[in-house]
Amino acid sequence: MSIIEKALNKSNNEEIEVNTILTCKSKVTNEDNISVVTDDIINTNKVTPNLNDDKNIVVDIDWKRLSDLGFAAPGSLNTEAIEEYRNIKRPLVNNAFGNGHNGIARANLILITSSLPGEGKTFTAINLALSIANERDKKVLLIDADVARPSISKVLGINDSPGLIEYLDGADINFSDIIIKTSIPGLGVIPAGKLHDYSTELLSSNKMALFVEELSNRYPDRIVIFDSPPLLAATQGEVLARLVGQVVLVIEAEKTMQNVVMESVAKLATCDVVLALFNKTKRNMDINYYGYGYGYGQYAH
């Protein structure tokens, strides 16, 4: 029995048919599906976004505060968390930069999502971004795409500033107006921006598709991490999942029911690579299967 099967069994104490969702997948089978959509969009709109980030704001992040909140911040004494995120990022980075990128389109774009609120998306997104940015030769762009309930800026202590929504909504807002540099040279942040009644439409717009396409093509050496809303609470997560090469489905271990996870998996059916991340596992629960409190599972559709 695999880690994910064990975990799901533990998560709801029911007999489950895990084979329907939990098989291993490393190769793209439905790439055409996704590229048709974006190619279409690109053919109808040839304006390439200018992703020049020369003029931008630099924000000093309070790493000590983050460390106190349990994040794997630079210089933090949370050595276990630092080690955990080293392991968690490895398959994602390998997929993004491995030889031939494993045939995964836009593998450097990673969406962090979950079925329900509070499962740990933002915590995971920030920790992964910190962990990757700490590798001297890697750059990370962390985008708060949870545009209805943004929290990256709040957690990182970034003041209100224009973000993804303003960029998508306004013709006169450039990439350089929304990207925020941090005191880690390799870490940039794009806040969600203001609340907007049509945020779902903006995220599904041509401009968003061109933006992510350009991020992937122009910065193949950069990992872009999107924090997103829960899949079962809003349609935006599903929309975003179609734009990226890799999806991390955060599952609150022992809490989120298997039928709920299955529903999310169905929503991710067009995604090339989905990694299930068991979060908030109890350290004394089953150390052999969960290591230091996290576990990964991979599945196909």
Ligand X SMILES: Nc1ncnc2c1ncn2[C@@H]1O[C@H](COP(=O)(O)OP(=O)(O)OP(=O)(O)O)[C@@H](O)[C@H]1O
From CA 15, how far away is CA 230, in angstroms rounded?
26
Considering beta carbons, is residue 94 or 151 the nearer one to Mg ion? 151
Considering only the C-alpha atoms of the chain, give the largest distance between any 2 of them, rounded to a whole number of Å: 56
Smallest gap, in angstroms, from Cβ of residue 66 to ligand X?
10
CB proximity list for 99: less than 8 A, separation 6 or greater: none
Considering beta carbons, is residue 163 or 230 the nearer one to ligand X? 230
Q: Are strands 222-227 and 139-144 parallel, antiparallel or unpaired?
A: parallel
Considering beta carbons, is residue 174 or 279 the nearer one to ligand X? 279
Q: Which does 123 bind (CB under 5 to 8 A by kind): Mg ion, ligand X, none?
A: ligand X
Smallest gap, in angstroms, from Cβ of residue 278 to ligand X?
10
Residue nearest Mg ion (C-beta atom): 122
Q: In one letter, which amino acid is 91?
A: P
Q: Which does 139 bind (CB under 5 to 8 A by kind): Mg ion, ligand X, none?
A: none
Smallest gap, in angstroms, from Cβ of residue 253 to Mg ion?
17
Smallest gap, in angstroms, from Cβ of residue 78 to ligand X?
10
Tokens 């970034």 label which residue? 158
What's the order of all strands across the beta sheet hosting 222-227?
57-59, 180-182, 187-190, 139-144, 222-227, 109-114, 246-252, 273-279, 295-299
- The conformation of residue 293, written as its DSSP 8-state character, comes to T
Residues in the site for ligand X, rule: CB under 6 A?
Answer: 70, 114, 117-123, 146, 149, 151, 230, 279-280
Considering beta carbons, is residue 122 or 199 the nearer one to Mg ion? 122
From CA 65, how far away is CA 157, in angstroms rounded?
9
Q: Which does 301 bind (CB under 5 to 8 A by kind): ligand X, Mg ion, none?
A: none
The answer to whether 108 and 96 are in contact (CB under 8 A) is yes
Considering beta carbons, is residue 34 or 128 the nearer one to ligand X? 128
Smallest gap, in angstroms, from Cβ of residue 226 to ligand X?
12
From CA 235, how far away is CA 218, in angstroms rounded?
28
Smallest gap, in angstroms, from Cβ of residue 124 to ligand X?
7
Considering beta carbons, is residue 121 or 138 the nearer one to ligand X? 121
Could you tell me which of 236, 301, 219, 298 has the C-alpha nearest to residue 265? 301
From CA 62, how far away is CA 40, in angstroms rounded?
43
Residues in the site for Mg ion, rule: CB under 5 A?
Answer: 121-122, 151
Considering beta carbons, is residue 122 or 258 the nearer one to ligand X? 122
Q: Which does 6 bind (CB under 5 to 8 A by kind): Mg ion, ligand X, none?
A: none
Q: Which does 279 bind (CB under 5 to 8 A by kind): ligand X, Mg ion, none?
A: ligand X
Count how many residues are written for the chain. 301
Tally of CB atoms within 10 A around 90: 12
Considering beta carbons, is residue 67 or 151 the nearer one to Mg ion? 151
SS3 of residue 261 by DSSP: helix
Smallest gap, in angstroms, from Cβ of residue 281 to ligand X?
8
Q: Which does 280 bind (CB under 5 to 8 A by kind): ligand X, Mg ion, none?
A: ligand X
Tokens 């998508």 label which residue? 168
Q: Which does 194 bind (CB under 5 to 8 A by kind): Mg ion, ligand X, none?
A: none
**How far is the first Cα of the chain from the last one, in angstroms, to the nearest whole number?**
19
Smallest gap, in angstroms, from Cβ of residue 240 to ligand X?
14
